[in-house]
Amino acid sequence: MLSIKNRVISNDLSQKILKILNEKNLSNIKINEELISYISKLPNIVHPKIKKYDNNFEIIKIVGEIKKHPFKAMNGTELLSEKDLLKITGLNYFCGERSYYFTGDLTKFEQALIDFTVQKLLKKKFILLSVPDILYDNIIESCGMPTKGTRSQIFKLNSDIYGSGWCLSGTSEMAIAAFFMNSNLNAKMLPLYIAAVSRCYRAEISNLAAEKGIYRVHQFTKVEMFGVCLPSQSDELLELFREIQEELFSSYDINYRVIDMAPCELEKKAYRKYDIEAWMPGLNQYGEISSCTNCRDYQSRRLNIRCGTEFVHTVNGTACAIPRIVNAIAETHQTKQGRVEIPIALRSLVGFDVLGMKRGPNMRRIQKIPKNLKRNCYIF
């Protein structure tokens, strides 16, 4: 079964494929090239269980209780900005909107989150990769993320300067998948668990008030999980990745819910996808902090990753998307004094119990700016 959105895509592509097959003037090579081009754009099928969801997701479970503060809770961006730990305003002159600076103890907290996540994954036999952030557009397309059109979230490098096809990666998932491109893997090696820490670049926009601040940004750090397995193993691997995510997020003592996504919400690559949403007391609503997806053979067919004669399956999941996790922890564990109590599991790594006891560096404007210097300048 295809999602409603993907059925429209499939019907349109089917018509184009039929047109090519009926074209008598095209050579076999030309027909083959065009067929592969169109067929590669076909979306994945979806898991039989989610057929009944129609246009509504299903809540699988809710973990923890909604935190009710005896004071008016602030959203994470406001809270951290008040303590000069986050800089998100006045950036238009040098990096534009939806960018941010972490300063002071918040930078230590960010590193502690990364270290905590990586240590957990290494104990679970994940292999750590350091990946490139610049990829060819065909790699990104093969992983299920469009690089063309007005709705693309991909940043592209200037083709006049750097040559055609270079893009900034939206997630390390793409580089990890490309690592196995044109490989024939031994069945004894599978399943493979890969993890990577990288910067992610996305040309996202949103007019929703709840998605302002650091919730939806153009670049952020993320720890990614990626699995390569036999076709018979991918359903089980998706559940394993979800269990790992829940173990990580439970360590932060936050309230979250697990959602089995409806067919209409799935990306082209997705056979089944879970979203995890944390309760954000400052926003008074749930917000996505993670997801994990079973892509089956969508990516392996396009990147030619096999085990013997069959294509392997791939599964991916977010172990830690820094801005979203920082938001959830800050809003959940904030105090009346505008500080943040660090979750116990992270205290030994971060080196303190409360974030905000020390203010970040005070950024003050330089008073005398040359008239020809049309930007804001700051010093610490």
Give the DSSP H/E element, type plus range, for residue 278. Answer: strand 272-280
Same domain, residue pair 53 and 8: no
Same domain, residue pair 310 and 174: yes
pLDDT at 376 over 70: no
In a domain, 219, yes or no: yes
Please report, for the domain that includes residue 334, its CATH number: 3.30.930.10
In a domain, 374, yes or no: no
In a domain, 192, yes or no: yes
Q: What is the mean pLDDT of residues 92-100?
A: 79
In a domain, 375, yes or no: no
Same domain, residue pair 4 and 62: no
257-275 pLDDT, tens digit each? 999 999 989 999 999 999 9
In the prediction, which pLDDT does 134 show? 97
Same domain, residue pair 133 and 9: no
Q: Can you tell me the distance from the alpha carbon of 37 to that of 29, in angstroms, rounded to the nearest whole number?
A: 12
Of the candidates 12, 10, 52, the residue with the CA atom closest to the CA atom of residue 263: 52
Same domain, residue pair 7 and 30: yes
184-196 pLDDT, tens digit each? 999 999 999 999 9
Same domain, residue pair 319 and 295: yes
Task: Name every residue whose Cβ is closer than 8 Å to that of residue 15 and which is 6 or more positions away in sequence.
Answer: none
121-130 pLDDT, tens digit each? 999 999 999 9
Do the beta carbons of residue 274 and residue 243 sit within 8 Å?
A: no
In a domain, 254, yes or no: yes
Q: 141 is written with which tokens?
A: 């397309």
In the prediction, which pLDDT does 36 show? 66
In a domain, 160, yes or no: yes
Same domain, residue pair 96 and 20: no
Q: Can you tell me the distance from the alpha carbon of 157 to that of 133, in angstroms, rounded to the nearest whole number?
A: 12
Other Cβ atoms within 10 Å of 250 Cβ, number: 14
In the prediction, which pLDDT does 368 show? 45
pTM over 0.85: yes
Same domain, residue pair 172 and 262: yes
Same domain, residue pair 57 and 27: no
Same domain, residue pair 143 and 291: yes
Question: Greater confidence, 52 or 93?
Answer: 52
Same domain, residue pair 24 and 66: no
Of the candidates 121, 127, 59, 62, the residue with the CA atom closest to the CA atom of residue 319: 121
How is 26-65 classified by DSSP, letter by letter? Answer: S-HHHHHHHHHHHHTTPPPP--GGGGGGTT--EEEEEES-
Residue 305's Cβ-count burial label (10 Å; 0-12, 13-18, 19+) is buried
Q: How confident is the model at residue 153 (pLDDT cuts 50, 70, 90)?
A: confident
In a domain, 380, yes or no: no
In a domain, 372, yes or no: no
In the prediction, which pLDDT does 246 show? 98
Q: How confident is the model at residue 93 (pLDDT cuts 50, 70, 90)?
A: confident
Q: How confident is the model at residue 213 (pLDDT cuts 50, 70, 90)?
A: confident
Instruction: Count how many domains the chain has.
Output: 2
Of the candidate ranges 34-43, 169-178, 186-195, 210-219, the one whose mean pLDDT is the lowest: 34-43
Q: What is the mean pLDDT of residues 96-125?
A: 95
Q: How confident is the model at residue 215 (pLDDT cuts 50, 70, 90)?
A: confident
In the prediction, which pLDDT does 345 show? 97
Of the candidates 123, 167, 110, 164, the residue with the CA atom closest to the CA atom of residue 326: 110
pLDDT at 364 over 50: no
Other Cβ atoms within 10 Å of 63 Cβ, number: 14
Q: Can you tell me the distance from the alpha carbon of 335 to that of 342, in angstroms, rounded to the nearest whole number?
A: 11
49-83 pLDDT, tens digit each? 998 887 789 999 999 999 999 999 999 999 999 99
In the prediction, which pLDDT does 1 show? 46
**Domain containing 296: what range?**
49-365
Same domain, residue pair 109 and 192: yes
